[in-house]
Each structure stands twice: as structure tokens, then as C-alpha cells.
Amino acid sequence: MSGIPRDLKPDPKHIAKHLPNTPQMQKLLRDEGAVHIFHDEETLQTVGITMVYDRP
């Protein structure tokens, strides 16, 4: 990705809210009414990397 001189990595404080049955996910669901969850952290990382680096 041009213009960003470093590797992009997800902020660890945001990972738990996207994993099933974590307290952070439950809180977000209560507060917002919906959440985007992934089966596991590996899937979350794969999707995130794909979204950033595999854009047309």
C-alpha cells in the first residue's frame, strides 16, 4: 500500500471484541446491538491483512 511506510497491524485492544463469547464482544453487542465476529484470531488477522493489502 503506497503512502504508509510501515506494516499495518491490528491494535490488540480491539481483537477480543471480534472473537466469539468474549466479555468485550458481549459488551459491544449490548451497547451497539450488533458485532462483526470471526471464528478465531487467525481468521480475523487474515481478513484484516486481505482488506488492507489486496485492494484493487
What is the per-residue pLDDT for 3? Answer: 60
Q: Is residue 1 part of a domain?
A: no
Q: Mean pLDDT of residues grouped by 10 in the chain (56 residues)?
A: 65 89 95 95 86 71
Q: Is residue 5 part of a domain?
A: no
C-alpha distances in angstroms, 38 versus 18, 21, 47?
6, 11, 9
Residue type, 32: E
What is the per-residue pLDDT for 1? Answer: 46
Confidence (pTM): 0.70
Q: Is residue 46 part of a domain?
A: yes
Domain that holds residue 35: 12-53
Domain count, the chain: 1
Q: Is residue 29 part of a domain?
A: yes
Q: Is residue 16 part of a domain?
A: yes
What is the per-residue pLDDT for 6? Answer: 72
